[in-house]
Amino acid sequence: AQTVTQSQPEMSVQEAETVTLSCTYDTSESDYYLFWYKQPPSRQMILVIRQEAYKQQNATENRFSVNFQKAAKSFSLKISDSQLGDAAMYFCAYTGTASKLTFGTGTRLQVTL
Amino acid sequence: GAVVSQHPSWVICKSGTSVKIECRSLDFQATTMFWYRQFPKQSLMLMATSNEGSKATYEQGVEKDKFLINHASLTLSTLTVTSAHPEDSSFYICSARDFSGRGGSYNEQFFGPGTRLTVL
């Protein structure tokens, strides 16, 4: 079975600074996808960024980028120029051939002035 | 695009009653829908996967007779919590996949806003 681990229950970053959220996963599959989701206080799940395992190039979406290390099974999220609106729970997620999403335990990100 | 709605957004019911939660894909056809449960300050746990026109597949430990799932059309799935008890109080989230194209190449799921269930 696939597992997703987020070892940072909480992180804090100052506004305009950069923060990196960690995620590791375990799988024996070769074809899979990885995601970062944001869950603000409204609890609506919002897709932040996604990465196909077969792509070596790290995905980027504006201020959000990932560091995908396939051999190490690591998938970290970097948020640049942090904004107050970035404060939320962030979940790393995996999906493979079973097409089901497996979520990590989440990291609560605080953004301070 | 790719909007999923849930109804109701919150519901309070008495112990022993049944509650139905609807999940609708508004602008696409969802061949597969998923139901998750989220306890406070915890992650999403998949309860079941439903495919249009067939029986739902439940995850290990989820009581299929308690959590009835019906996916009768390509835009609607329902979750019925039968004989609800206080321990069923939780936040229930649905998601939908569109295999026809949008998000399909990424196995992406589109999430509803969730339903907060409180059983007294």
SS (H, E, C) B18-83: CEEEEEEECCCCCCEEEEEEECCCCCEEEEEEEECCCCCEECCCCCCCCEEEEEEECCEEEEEECC
Note the pLDDT tens digit of each residue in B19-62.
999 999 998 888 899 999 999 889 999 999 998 888 899 999 99
Arithmetic mean of pLDDT, B53-72: 92
B44-62: buried (b, 16+ CB within 10 Å) or exposed (e) per residue? Answer: bbbbbbbebeeebebeeeb
Quote the pLDDT of residue B99: 65
Note the pLDDT tens digit of each residue in A80-93.
999 999 999 999 99
Question: Is residue B3 within 8 Å of residue B111, measured between CB atoms?
Answer: no
* A35, closest residue in chain B (CA to CA): B108
Residues from chain B that touch A44, judged by Cβ atoms under 8 A, are: 111, 113-114
State how far Cα A105 lies from the chain centre: 11
- Residue from the list A44, A52, A106 with its beta carbon closest to the beta carbon of B43: A106
- Residue from the list B42, B45, B93 with its beta carbon closest to the beta carbon of A45: B93
Residues from chain A that touch B91, judged by Cβ atoms under 8 A, are: 43
Quote the pLDDT of residue B105: 58
Residues from chain A that touch B94, judged by Cβ atoms under 8 A, are: none
Residues from chain A that touch B38, judged by Cβ atoms under 8 A, are: 43
- Residue from the list A47, A100, A106 with its beta carbon closest to the beta carbon of B49: A100
Check B106 against A100: CB less than 8 A apart. Answer: no
Residues from chain A that touch B113, judged by Cβ atoms under 8 A, are: 42-44
* A97, closest residue in chain B (CA to CA): B107
Question: Is residue A35 within 8 Å of residue A93, measured between CB atoms?
Answer: yes
Is it the case that residue B101 has pLDDT exceeding 70? no
> What band does B64 get if pLDDT is binned at 50, 70 and 90?
very high
* B38, closest residue in chain A (CA to CA): A43
Check B114 against A50: CB less than 8 A apart. Answer: no
* B5, closest residue in chain A (CA to CA): A44
* B57, closest residue in chain A (CA to CA): A100
A–B interface: beta-carbon pairs under 8 A: 45
Is it the case that residue A63 has pLDDT exceeding 60? yes
Establish how many alpha carbons lie within 13 A of residue A26's alpha carbon, considering only the half-sphere containing its beta carbon. Answer: 5
Residue A79's H or E segment, with its range, is strand A74-79
Percent of chain B beyond pLDDT 70? 92
Check B44 against A91: CB less than 8 A apart. Answer: yes
Question: Is residue B45 within 8 Å of residue B67, measured between CB atoms?
Answer: no
Quote the pLDDT of residue B107: 66
